[in-house]
Amino acid sequence: MNRKRVFSKITLAMLFVAAFAACKSGGKADKAYDDDETNQEESYEADEADASPVMRLEGNTLHYGGHRYTLDDGLRLDGDMPAKDEGQMCTVSFTHFPDNFQEFQALYDQFLGTSYGGVLALNVMAYEMYRRDRSLGEEAIRLVNTPTNANATIGMLAQKFPKVRGDENDNDSYHQPYLVAAFLKGATHDSNYQPDYPYVLRFRWSTNPYATQHEYSNMLYGYIYNLAALRNGENECAVSVLSDEDNPLLLKVANCPSFYYAVPDIRRWDDTLK
C-alpha cells in the first residue's frame, strides 16, 4: 500500500514537471513568434523609409515625391546659333529646392540637364543646397559645373553664406544668405528678397553685343554659349554654358562670377524658402 502511494506521488510529480515544461516551452515559442512579427513590421517600416520617392513626368512637369518642377523652354537654336527671335525666355518654376543629391541628380540626368536654362536653374538650386548643407551643396555644384568653375564657385560661396542655416541675420556684413532668393521672380530689394510662390527662375540668351556664341573652347573641349539670368528684378547676370563635344546633351556651367556677386544689402531677411 505504501509503495503504491509513493509511486502515485512520483507519477503526479513527473506529470506536473512535464506540464510545466510544456507551458514554458510554449511561452517561449509564443514570445519568439511575437518577436518575429515585431521584427518583420520594423523591417517593412525601414523598407518604406528607404524607398525612393515616386518620380513621374507629365508633359513639361516633373513630379518628384511632393516636389514639382516645370520647364518652359523658349530658347531656340537656329542651327548651332541662338535664334534671333525677340522675347525668347526659359523659365523653370518649382515648389521646393531639392532635398538631397539623389533628387538633384535625377533632375539633371532626366529633366533639366539638356536645357540651357535648365542647367542654369540647377546651378542656382545647388547654391541654395550649399547654403543649407555645405557638403551636399558642393556635390551638387560639382555635378553641373566644369571643375574649374566649381572650385571658384565653392570658394566664393563659403564666404557669402553663414556656416549654419539659422544664422541668416548675424552681424557679418559680407554674408548674403538671400543671394539665391534674389534670383527668384518677385524677390527684389524692395520686397526684402521675398519671392513669388511657386518659385520661378528666368533665363535668356545674352544681349551683350560682344558675347560670342557657339565658340569652341580648346581648354574645355566643347562649345560655349552665353546667356543671362535675371536677378533682383530685371537685372542681368552673365553666364556661360558648355556643350561638351563628348557629351553634348548634358550641359555644364562654364563661367558664372556674376551669380555670386553681391546684391544690394538689406538689414534683415526672413528665410521662407522651402
Give a yes or no: residue 175 inside a domain: yes
CB-side neighbour CA atoms (13 Å) of 117: 25
Burial class (CB in 10 A: 0-12, 13-18, 19+), 26: exposed
The alpha carbon of 221 is separated from its chain's Cα centroid by a whole number of angstroms, namely: 28
Tell me, yes or no, whether 269 lies in a domain: no
| DSSP per residue, the chain | -HHHHHHHHHHHHHHHHHHHHHHHHHHHHHHHHHHHHHHHHHHHHHHHHHSPPPEEEETTEEEETTEEEEEEE---EETTEE---TT--EEEEESS--SSHHHHHHHIIIIITTSHHHHHHHHHHHHHHHHH-HHHHHHHHHHHB-HHHHHHHHHHHHHHS-SSTT-TT-S-TT--TTTTGGGSTT--TTTTTPPPSSEEEEEEE---TT--SSEEETTTTEEEEEEEEEETTTEEEEEEEEEESSSTTS-EEEE-GGGGSPPPP-S-------
- Domain of 181 in residue numbering reads as 57-260
Q: How many domains does the chain have?
A: 2
Note whether residue 217 is domain-resident: yes
Instruction: With respect to residue 141, please indicate whether it lies within any of the assigned structural domains.
Output: yes
Q: pLDDT tens per residue, the chain (274 residues)?
A: 444 443 344 343 443 444 444 444 454 444 444 454 445 444 434 444 445 788 999 999 999 999 999 999 999 888 888 987 777 999 999 999 999 999 999 999 999 999 999 999 999 999 999 999 999 999 999 999 999 999 999 999 998 887 766 555 555 657 899 999 999 999 999 999 999 999 999 999 998 888 899 999 999 999 999 999 999 988 899 999 999 988 888 999 999 999 999 999 998 899 999 9
Distance of CA 236 to the CA centre of its chain: 25
Q: Report pLDDT for 51.
A: 59
Specify the pTM.
0.79
- What integer pLDDT is reported at residue 246 of this predicted model? 85
Are residues 67 and 47 part of one domain? no
Residue where a domain stops, chosen among 11, 29, 51: 51
Which cell numbers hold the place of 124? 542656382
Quick one: 139 and 230 in the same domain?
yes
Q: Are 89 and 203 a contacting pair, CB within 8 Å?
A: yes
Q: Looking at the structure, tell me whether residues 127 and 208 fall in a common domain.
A: yes
What the block records as the C-alpha cell of 69 is 518642377
Which of 227, 211, 210, 220 shows the shortest CA–CA distance to 242?
220
Residue 133's Cβ-side half-sphere holds a number of Cα atoms within 13 Å equal to 10
Q: Are residues 115 and 167 in the same domain?
A: yes
**Residue 192 grid cell:** 526684402
Identify the domain boundary among 10, 27, 51.
51
Cα angle 145, 91, 261; round to 5? 50
pLDDT for res 222? 94
Reference 269, options 195, 178, 171; nearest CA is: 178
